[in-house]
């Protein structure tokens, strides 16, 4: 991700290349705020970058790529090769195929915070090992789970045994 300094330079240069003043972008962003962004005194949100990029008639991803390319001191072709490699990683992880499951009716589904709960069968396996007389360490090795997880359920009172 490029720094706000490099992105500021790309935005300023693109605006100037389009022959626009900061005031002419006022329909998108308040001129004073645009001035602060173009002088790297304020960060820019993705939403604001998208609004500015529409007014500049340049894709926001292209603006970010230009800034990153300059910052990495690479030729555009080199950076595009790097970017393609990174996108290929996402493809291998099947990120694009998994994205639809993150949305419901066009809205992002709220993710549950914290670690996923320990399944009841894993808790039962810990308690079975305890009943068999195994040590916590042996249980950890046998079940292939962290010692801290075994310890947590080993000493938890029966009424509280929920992951």
* Distance, CA of 54 to chain centre: 24
Share of the chain above pLDDT 90, in %: 75
pLDDT, tens digit (0-9, with 9 covering 90-100), for 9-54: 999 999 999 999 888 887 777 888 888 999 999 999 999 999 999 9
* Distance, CA of 38 to chain centre: 25
Taking all residues of the chain, what is their mean pLDDT, rounded to a whole number?
A: 90
**Mode of pairing for the β-strands spanning 103-104 and 107-108:** antiparallel
Domain 4-90: state its class: mainly alpha
Q: What pLDDT score was predicted for residue 160?
A: 64
Q: What pLDDT score was predicted for residue 162?
A: 59
List the structure tokens of 17.
């290349």
Q: What pLDDT score was predicted for residue 159?
A: 63
Domain ranges in the chain are: 4-90, 120-160
Start-to-end C-alpha separation, the chain: 38
Q: What pLDDT score was predicted for residue 1?
A: 84
Q: What pLDDT score was predicted for residue 57?
A: 95
Distance CA 130, CA 126 (A): 6
């Amino acid at each position: 991700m490029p720094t706000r300094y490099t992105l500021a330079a790309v935005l300023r240069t693109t605006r100037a290349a389009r022959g626009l003043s900061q005031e002419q972008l006022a329909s998108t962003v308040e001129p004073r705020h645009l001035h602060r962004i173009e002088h790297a005194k304020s960060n820019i949100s993705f939403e604001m970058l998208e609004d500015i990029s529409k007014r500049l008639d340049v894709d926001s991803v292209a603006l970010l790529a230009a800034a990153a390319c300059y910052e990495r001191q690479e030729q555009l072709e080199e950076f595009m090769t790097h970017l393609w490699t990174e996108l290929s990683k996402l493809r291998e992880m099947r990120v694009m195929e998994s994205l639809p499951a993150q949305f419901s009716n066009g809205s992002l589904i709220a993710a549950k915070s914290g670690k996923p709960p320990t399944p009841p069968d894993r808790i039962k396996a810990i308690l079975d090992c305890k009943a068999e007389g195994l040590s916590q360490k042996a249980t950890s090795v046998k079940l292939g789970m962290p010692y801290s997880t075994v310890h947590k359920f080993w000493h938890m009172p029966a009424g509280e045994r929920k992951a």
